[in-house]
Chain A
Amino acid sequence: MSPDRNRNYNFDWISILIYILLVGFGWVNILSASHNGEVTSYFDINQPFGKQSIFIILSIVLIVLILSIEAKFYERFSSIIYILSIVSLVGLFLFGKTVSGATSWYGIGGFTIQPSEFAKVATSLAVAKYISDLQTNIKLFKDQVRLFAIICIPAILILLQNDAGSTIVYSAFFFVLYREGLPQLYLLVAVILILVSVLTLKFGILSAVLITATVILLSHFFGTKKRPSIFQPISIIILSIGLAFGVKFFYNSILQPHQQNRISLWLRLEKDQVKLEKMKKTILYNLNESEKAIGSGGFNGKGFMEGTRTTGKFVPEQHTDYIFSTVGEEWGFIGSALVVILFVLLILRILQRAELQKSQFSRVYGYAVASIFFIHFLINIGMVMGLIPTVGIPLPFLSYGGSGIFAYTLLLFIFIRLDSNRINEW
């Protein structure tokens, strides 16, 4: 395909194909998970699947719009978009609508809008814009602080609205910053943070510190690179001790009981069988039911609209956050593995295209998109299958929700638009 002739149509068709497959398959499963017996119309506005049909049509309009706008627009207006997004998040404190504890929605007519979904797009653009600025040097502490601020302002606003799940998504930007040259120290800190937290909660402070110290000292003495002073690892160990106490305090005093329970179940901390059985029926109900539903699908699945647990709506939120349980029950191992593979392919494809970009803005943005999809993919499917603690975030493209599908469409197609412009860039 000659770049000259197809200048405006040089879109990444592989990404678009995967997008169509995921959205289409998502709709099929939403239909199965949300219908109540008779389906009169696929556009029945009173049913989730009907609404989703309309959202998909609107998404197509949105895609045409995104692709027809000049690529430079996104870079130029990224700051304004970011500010608008922050304003919309702040506005929630005044006009927001509270649904199941989180004040994350504006209600307009019969529809609701969730600004936190769109804030991901705005933050990605802002981060890309800031990093790609010629004056920015990510090795400098000053710039690191500003970047953290760009990422943390929306994250904290969302946390204050009591939507911890969406906040966690912002950890995706770590991958972006790391790719763009954030010092190794941060990775080390991140790894130690995760290691110490998990070890402390699972085995107690003493064991956690001992294990961490051993690992650090071993890597210090057997590392291939030039050996820094012995004080560096020792100070890290001292920090780890403090961190371990901090984690313990955070777990016991800051986290809410339901969050404690989720972590305690994930790390198998509860040893009392009777209590555990009771937990399985109450706080673990969703997970228990979703694992059962997925398991009951077997290799081939029970078939479209044939899932007994889906039909009986045994898994709460099965058309939104728990849509993967419907996939598992009705489409079996074949269908679920296909969804996993499509996600992996899509993310890898975006990464590959991002690395090809000549413009740093496009590359950073592409990286942000891939990272956000990855975190959603990791947390949502991991949660539904019981691999990580329960965190309520949707599965992109498959879960029901207008704001969600618009935001993920924006994320992906802005990148496709930027990517199509690659050859025109310098």
Chain B
Amino acid sequence: MRPLLLLFSVIAVGLIFISRLFYLQVYNAPSENLFADNAIRKVFDYPKRGYIYDRNGKLLVSNQPSYDVMIIPREVEPLDTLEFCLLLKIDKAYFKKKYNKAYRYSPRLPSPFLSHLSKEDYAALQEKMRKFDGFYIQKRSLRDYRTPIGANVLGYIAEANPSQIKKNPYYRQGDLIGKQGIELSYEDELKGIKGIKFIQKDRFNRDIGPYKNGTRDTIPQQGKDITITIDSELQAYGEKLMQNKRGGIIAIEPATGEILSMISAPNYNPNLLVGRVRSKNFTKLYNDTISKPLFDRGLKAMYEPGSPFKTLIALAALQEGTIDPATTITCRGMYNYGGTKPMGCHCGNGNRDLLKGIAKSCNSYFADAFRKTIDMYPNAKEGMDVWSKHIKSFGLGNYLGYDLSIGDKGNIPDGDYYNKWYPDFRWGATTVISNAIGQGEVLVTPIQLANMTAAIANRGYFYTPHIIKKIEGQESIDKNFTIPKKTSIDSRHFEPVVQGLADVYKRGGTAAFLKVPGIEICGKTGTAENFTKINGKRVQLTDHSIFVAFAPKDNPKIAIAVFVENGYYGARWAGRISSLMIEKYLKGDVSLKYMEKLVLEKSLEEEYAKPYSGESFSINDGTKFNVIEIPTEQPTEDESGQE
């Protein structure tokens, strides 16, 4: 028995040791990850971020070097803080604050201490840097915007925030990441891949040489250059036209869905958000809650479309066979549908067929067409569903799926929508008649309206609007952008509507004075009511000025939607801007100098100040009993001189 004591002890200890080894090395083993190994220092080499070119090959965005002072708190040795602060041009409080912040993030990982040094500061600092243990200079590249335009399109880059770092371990504290616009959408293409050097450390944290002789090191991979669909000249021109105004312009090439320009006003110079001034300027822009320069109105602002929507009412009615181009009604200045108050019309009274209806934007005609379309079905829900399906096939009422920030859905009501509103189901075409003239429950964004215009220009299909043209010279973009989306309207129904839109520019049309010599434009004016709350009271503001157009009529090259907030009737601002943009794009030069001068000089700032100054709006001063559409007469009063 006695010899067994040691024997069993040895075997037991052997088994315990092997179990412990198994626990440490197999069961509980940390994954073999050089990044988690604090015996290895990782030194990053940042690649060039991809350049951005416009559709004509003009360089819009390049890079400029920037130098960050980085800190590894654990390695900081006692230093001459006075000299250090003087060199960096900071005070001691900043030093303390940054040191503590970095220490809280991690004592052994690098954190940015002072970002974006100028070249001169860098030169002065570089020589003395070796004196300050725990600090080093990290070279990065910042964006250099070659033009002051397109801030809303190009977006900006900024330091990745903690949740982004957590989501994607590629990013480290202090790395730059696309936060908006192109920079965000094409971050993966633009960023390239960081190069890494692995350096073996000893336990005193000294470098003792490259890890495995540098065989695991990688060299940085440059970011890809991309070409976007924006025409920078058109974009610049549009931004100029929109000065002193608020609103958006979207121009699309109908044959491809490429976005030619995307203007949101007011705008800002993208260089404001680069480097050390970034956070100061960003706060300033962000806090401007009145003009909201960071709010991309082209994608995100939802408006009632107003009269341009009548084209879709006509197309749905034609498709459903409730009207044909020859259908005629007689307008007597109002449309009496049995409600408490008839719907007003300003088309100037008379017999209206489809073409005239569009050209004169006759409310009565489209209210009638809409009502007939809904009433064709046994109940209002069914009719509304069919109608809604037709409208949505133009990309309205849902996200379009373009390669920019997601934007907004807008709203196209269907049967269920009203069933919820009227729980007793007692509603019908006349209850929702406002939709017929693009008001009521219909909401669209400018880009949706531009896309709708492109679909009409193409006579029945569209390509999802997109901003990307080429990546590193390769035209292989997302398939979603190269497959045409068909609308539910047969192409034969488009011809009369297109003719009606062309007639808008002819004698008696609502945009007759906006003709551009030598170009046959198809367009449609629009105004939309809008309201705000002042001291808790609902107050109607001056209408938004809306215009959609495409040109030339045959084989169209550009489709455009323009919104000018509180610009009053459609032709006054949006219409003029459309004509100028179309001429600029198609001819390269503008002949309508007088019109250009007028648009550039007249400011709407006074209008925008009204809700704050308490001045009354002419629109609700009691002189008009309704405020739905103000088309032809007024434009001819004050603009006839130009004709």
Contact = CB atoms under 8 A, between A and B. Distances in A.
Contact of A294 (B10, B25, B200, B208): B25
Contact of A312 (B6, B29, B202, B212): B202
Interface string B59-88: 000000000000000000000000000000
Nearest to A341: B14
B200 A385 contact: no
B10 A313 contact: no
Contacts of B202: 312-314
Contacts of A343: 14
Interface in B2-21: 2-3, 5-7, 9-11, 13-14, 16-18, 20-21
A347 interface: yes
Nearest to A316: B203
B30 A348 contact: no
B598 interface: no
Contacts of B20: 385, 387
Contact of A295 (B2, B29, B208): B29
Interface in B245-288: none
B121 interface: no
Contacts of B22: 333, 337
Contact of B29 (A299, A348, A378): A299
B40 A308 contact: yes
Interface string B16-42: 111011101110111010000101100
Contacts of A336: 21, 25
Interface in A299-356: 299, 306, 308-309, 311-314, 316, 328, 332-333, 336-337, 340-341, 343-344, 347-348, 351, 355
A370 interface: yes
A378 B13 contact: yes
Given A351-B3, A385-B20, A313 B203 contact: yes
A298 interface: yes
Q: Max chain A CB contacts within 10 Å: which of B14, B28, B37?
A: B14
B209 interface: yes
Best-buried of B16, B39, B209 by chain A (most CB within 10 Å)? B39
Contacts of A296: 29-30, 32, 37
B201 interface: yes
A81 to B, nearest CB: 24
Interface in A76-108: none
B3 A179 contact: yes
Identify the interface centre among B2, B21, B40, B203: most chain A CB within 10 Å of its CB: B21
B8 to A, nearest CB: 11
A413 interface: no
A242 interface: no
Contacts of B3: 179, 351, 355
B201 A385 contact: no
B211 interface: yes
A109 interface: no
Interface string A149-182: 0000000000000000000000000010011010
A374 B28 CA distance: 27
Given A178-B2, A371-B6, A374-B9, A295 B24 contact: yes
B25 A370 contact: no
B2 A328 contact: no
Nearest to A175: B6
Given A348-B7, A351-B6, A308 B200 contact: yes
Contact of A309 (B13, B18, B26, B39): B39
B203 A314 contact: yes
Contacts of A332: 25
A187 B1 CA distance: 13
B25 A333 contact: yes
Interface residues of A, number: 45
B25 to A, nearest CB: 4
Nearest to A299: B26
Contacts of B32: 296, 298
Interface in B200-246: 200-203, 208-209, 211-212
Contacts of B14: 340-341, 343-344
Majority SS at the chain B contact face: helix
A291 interface: yes
B596 to A, nearest CB: 69
A378 B30 CA distance: 26
B7 A340 contact: no
A297 interface: yes
Point out which of B11, B13, B37 has the most chain A C-beta atoms below 10 A from its C-beta. Answer: B13
A340 B203 contact: no
Given A298-B32, A313-B202, A179 B6 contact: yes
A110 interface: no
Interface in A255-284: none
A340 B5 contact: no
Nearest to B29: A298
B39 A385 contact: no
Contacts of A387: 16-17, 20
Contacts of B16: 387
A377 interface: yes
Interface string A190-234: 000000000000000000000000000000000000000000000
Given A179-B3, A311-B208, A374 B13 contact: yes
Contacts of B29: 295-296, 298-299
A121 interface: no
Contacts of A367: 6
Nearest to A370: B6
Given A308-B40, A312-B203, A298 B25 contact: yes
A348 B211 CA distance: 42
A187 B9 CA distance: 14
B208 A37 contact: yes
Contacts of A178: 2, 5
B2 A312 contact: no
A3 interface: no
B7 A308 contact: no
B27 to A, nearest CB: 10
15 contacts: A37-B208, A294-B25, A299-B25, A299-B29, A312-B201, A313-B202, A314-B39, A328-B25, A333-B22, A343-B14, A347-B10, A348-B11, A374-B6, A374-B10, A385-B24
Interface of A: 37, 175, 178-179, 181, 187, 289, 291, 294-299, 306, 308-309, 311-314, 316, 328, 332-333, 336-337, 340-341, 343-344, 347-348, 351, 355, 367, 370-371, 374, 377-378, 381-382, 385, 387
Given A344-B10, A344-B14, A374-B9, 10 more contacts: A37-B209, A178-B5, A295-B30, A298-B32, A312-B203, A314-B39, A340-B17, A340-B18, A347-B10, A351-B6
Interface of B: 2-3, 5-7, 9-11, 13-14, 16-18, 20-22, 24-26, 28-30, 32, 37, 39-40, 200-203, 208-209, 211-212
The 3 closest A-B pairs by CB, nearest first: A344-B14, A308-B39, A333-B25
